[in-house]
Amino acid sequence: MSGKARQGEVLQKCHCGAAQGFSQCCEPVISGSATAETAEQLMRSRYSAFVVRDESYLLASWHPDTRPSRVRLDAEQRWLGLVIKATQAGCATDDNGTVEFVARFKVNGKGHRLHELSRFDKVAGRWYYRDGQHL
Domain assignment present for residue 8? The answer is: no
Domain assignment present for residue 66? The answer is: yes
pLDDT score, position 23? 94
The residue type found at 112 is H
pLDDT score, position 8? 43
User: Where in the sequence is the domain holding 62, given as residue range(s)?
Assistant: 27-134
Backbone region of residue 88 per phi and psi (left: phi > 0; alpha: psi in -120 to 50; beta: other values) = beta
- The span from the CA of 97 to the CA of 55, in Å, is 23
Sign of torsion over alpha carbons 10, 11, 13, 15: positive
Query: Could you tell me the CATH number of the domain that includes residue 35?
Result: 3.10.450.50
CB atoms within 10 A of CB 66: 13
pLDDT score, position 4? 46
Tens-digit pLDDT profile for residues 61-112: 999 999 999 999 999 999 999 999 999 999 989 999 999 999 999 999 999 9
Q: Is the pLDDT of residue 5 over 50?
A: no
| Pairs from 18-25 (Cβ < 8 Å, separation ≥ 24) | 18/44, 22/48
Q: Is the pLDDT of residue 12 over 80?
A: no
Q: Could you give the number of structural domains in the chain? A: 1
Tens-digit pLDDT profile for residues 28-38: 999 999 999 99
